[in-house]
Structure 1
């Protein structure tokens, strides 16, 4: 019987060694997830995976999702804060021993000379039947009003009116910069709607063989411009400037700034030496998306700038406002405001075509009403002037004025010689009253750099991409302990789940 049993049992050596290897089964998806939850560095998940009771599991699950929600809220806030593009402004003082000397623009307070204007104006008013005279010594208020219409007529006919303005040679007695003599050729002409021909020293030029702008350290100096001027008030047109009897207007501005001297100019009274000490202030704004600032020159502004003699002017928000108001007036009235006759360039709506618009008649109320309507309507303003945003870089010169009585007796004689040598007609009784005339027309102005410290206001982003990433990392680590390696653990789990799903789909196991 034993023999029979032996015959039925196979020898151990005859069993193949593969039969003794345990069968390897692919891990189930639940096992993959549980293994990830037990081993991940993310807080809360290991507590859920190893819980031995429902209460313990529920405690960890509720805790995990509460803190996950809090973390998500703060991370969302951090990202929203970034996309609101917050900024901060830093103030710094930089010592610039040698800095660009600013541009200086001056004008006679009266735009036109009576002796140049009166005969042509009378001929015009006579032709219209407004007057019937050839008398150039008598001048009435009605003639003053007619002169504005005469100048508008000349401009609409594309005729020059600059011959009626005061020339720089008739006003500039002397000029020195850092003790070096300068002349009228060192100035360029700028046309102001309010003051006629104005003259700018040290403007940045384009397409010129002249050397660049002057610096405060030129010729071993400290940045000092001295101008001695003469107003010729006996040639002022009556009733035009009302209460002012004589004077000049001056503006200290950046070398590329369009000089809106009627807005930012300073009045200089005759009979004084004016000391203007300046210090430089620079403002730097961030471009989009942080602010809506721009340096791009619109088409109409470029056309206006091209009319000036070689000056390199940068974008000006103030000039943009003037042009957008003129564009609206042109749409409503078919003409533009004669008050701003130097800003006649208008872009035809829905085109890139520039027209040199005609000026509205002085008595036409349309341009005044349209201007008021535009100013009072936010919708209209946004439609016509939305592109007039602030400049991205704005240089300002803060001026401290002082004055003293002038001229001295010595310089009164020098001024007398200048007036008598000029081509300007002398006032009545000049030989007897020349000292009084000089005192009522002489203006001396000295512009000097008052500080080599430049005040810089720089706008900076409060949050950048690195700050947001740091905030997200800090918040995720604080609330649920997530790091980049935790994310890689989650990626590994997803990969294993996808691979398992692929095996089931392909092999059915």
Structure 2
């Protein structure tokens, strides 16, 4: 058979010419267009299919590159979930007296402060002492006399009649803190508190409504006279490790009423890099702020990052760079970061010289300038998680006749176990004082459903890979096996080039 005329035998691929190898590939390939190039019946037909294949290949690369760029843009979408949380943590509740200064204690400190400023022979009157209230607190803070500062304000035992959570006595479940506006504040259910209360924390006592019940006597007769404050309480609901800022978000409660605060919880979670610039890292200046705010060092160990606090701190840092002091606009702090990243001590500006004017001007300049914000606040990126409590506040008249009779028996008949601050003629004018100064608060969960906003990646790697496969298949029919066929072609061509 080998000698029959016209008989042919296919050569081994290593013996084929390069042109023959390419034509074999073009005829056999699964890639659309190339097969038509290989079996074209004329030169014009071959040119036509080469142009068409080039055009579709260009379009394919355009859409493939677009899909890749879209993936590396890290687009996101927000997913909303409403979940039932029967074991939800009860929020932290911070309570401050709406007027921070107790007249008798402040006056004693003011007299001592006056004689630190002036010789002993200089006389004073009450109006002079009144003008020294702010300088007194700045002086006490700068000299780290926190105990004296606390003594000038109201202690929780001066104003609170009772605390009850689902039938559990919670009078001792408060953590003291300091506010630059309201002085002494007290936080219930802080993250490090023992016990820590959740919606599941119940007692064997029957209660009409589950939640936190508080009763107060507001000693407005002992208030230091001022035009800046009013009578009552400031109450703030916040997350269990979120720094309380009652001057920014607090609810103002009036004495002579029974207040009801119903809350609903929502959580927002952002994706970390590369999808966003959010962070949860705690810087040393923020940690120092917690240590300054909370007297209890155990309490100050629970620290949560906040973008707004970070920006307040960096604005304070700019003010310090210009005036060598800071303003306690939102809070008191003892340390700030310099522009080169060093943590240093800082004092409050002296109100008796030009430091205060310098500080106010610097603060306004910092807030108004985007360049300064960018320079000093580059590390203040958004926080990765935020918890919010929306509240509904309502009130009724209080106290009731039954409450008046009950507290008259407790406070006047020798069974009083409280140490609330009352005037000297309290017993003689009990009805007047109690009706005027009684304040009742109930805080409860308005819904056990938590609304969660979660940022999610809009495109995953699998989505992008599928999009690329769809584009290559749509335009030229390219698949993984087609790529392997192309690799085989290159191998054969290289092998042919080497052996010849």
Asked whether the two chains share a fold, i.e. TM above 0.5, the reply is yes
Question: Which residue pairs with 1:176 in the alignment?
Answer: 164
Q: Distance in 2 between matches of 1:251 and 1:377?
A: 31
Mapping of residues 410-449 of structure 1, within 5 Å: 410-415=402-407, 417-418=410-411, 426-427=422-423, 429-449=425-445
| Residues 225 and 446 in structure 1, CA contact (< 8 A), matched pair in contact too | yes
Question: Which residue pairs with 2:80 in the alignment?
Answer: 91
Residues 451, 434 of structure 1: alpha-carbon distance in 2 compared, 3 angstrom cutoff? same
Aligned to 2:228, what secondary structure does the other structure show? coil
From 52, 61, 65, give the equivalent of 1:76. 65
Q: Distance in 2 between matches of 1:489 and 1:199?
A: 74
- Of the structure 1 ranges 451-460 and 118-127, higher mean CA displacement relative to structure 2 is found in 118-127
- Give, in angstroms, the shift of residue 79 of structure 1: 1.2
Q: Distance in 2 between matches of 1:277 and 1:46?
A: 73
Aligned to 1:73, what secondary structure does the other structure show? helix
Q: Distance in 2 between matches of 1:437 and 1:197?
A: 23
Residues 358, 91 of structure 1: alpha-carbon distance in 2 compared, 3 angstrom cutoff? same
Question: Which residue pairs with 2:236 in the alignment?
Answer: 251
- Cα-to-partner distance string for 1:80-129 (whole Å, 9 max, x where unaligned): 11111111111111111221111111111112211111122123234434
Aligned to 1:85, what secondary structure does the other structure show? coil
| Residues 252 and 397 in structure 1, CA contact (< 8 A), matched pair in contact too | yes
- Give, in angstroms, the shift of residue 331 of structure 1: 0.9
- Cα-to-partner distance string for 1:392-437 (whole Å, 9 max, x where unaligned): 1111111111110111133235556559876566436544543332
Q: Distance in 1 between matches of 2:112 and 2:190?
A: 38
| Residues 366 and 373 in structure 2, CA contact (< 8 A), matched pair in contact too | yes
CA RMSD of aligned residues (A): 2.5
Question: Which residue pairs with 2:316 in the alignment?
Answer: 326
The reply on whether 1:157 has 2:153 as its aligned counterpart is no
Residues 414, 196 of structure 1: alpha-carbon distance in 2 compared, 3 angstrom cutoff? farther
Q: TM-score, normalised by structure 1?
A: 0.87
Residues 295, 333 of structure 1: alpha-carbon distance in 2 compared, 3 angstrom cutoff? same
Mapping of residues 64-463 of structure 1, within 5 Å: 64-129=53-118, 132-133=122-123, 139-140=126-127, 143-160=129-146, 161-183=149-171, 185-205=172-192, 210-211=194-195, 213-219=196-202, 223-239=210-226, 241-242=228-229, 244=230, 246-307=231-292, 308=294, 309=296, 310-311=298-299, 312-340=302-330, 342-352=332-342, 354-362=343-351, 364-415=356-407, 417-418=410-411, 426-427=422-423, 429-463=425-459
Question: Which residue pairs with 1:488 in the alignment?
Answer: 484
Q: Distance in 2 between matches of 1:276 and 1:387?
A: 36
Question: Which residue pairs with 1:467 in the alignment?
Answer: 463
Q: Distance in 1 between matches of 2:87 and 2:398?
A: 31
Q: Distance in 1 between matches of 2:417 and 2:210?
A: 31
Q: Distance in 2 between matches of 1:458 and 1:418?
A: 52
Q: Distance in 1 between matches of 2:166 and 2:275?
A: 42
| Residues 104 and 222 in structure 2, CA contact (< 8 A), matched pair in contact too | yes
- Of the structure 1 ranges 278-287 and 467-476, higher mean CA displacement relative to structure 2 is found in 278-287
* Count of aligned positions: 474
Please say which structure displays the higher CA radius of gyration: 1
Q: Distance in 2 between matches of 1:488 and 1:268?
A: 75
| Residues 29 and 500 in structure 1, CA contact (< 8 A), matched pair in contact too | yes
- Give, in angstroms, the shift of residue 322 of structure 1: 1.8
- Of the structure 1 ranges 218-227 and 445-454, higher mean CA displacement relative to structure 2 is found in 218-227
| Residues 173 and 415 in structure 1, CA contact (< 8 A), matched pair in contact too | no
| Residues 152 and 338 in structure 1, CA contact (< 8 A), matched pair in contact too | no
- Give, in angstroms, the shift of residue 461 of structure 1: 0.7
- Cα-to-partner distance string for 1:351-397 (whole Å, 9 max, x where unaligned): 44x33311112352011111111111111101112222222111111
- Give, in angstroms, the shift of residue 27 of structure 1: 2.0
Aligned to 2:235, what secondary structure does the other structure show? strand
Question: Which residue pairs with 1:6 in the alignment?
Answer: none
Q: TM-score, normalised by structure 2?
A: 0.89
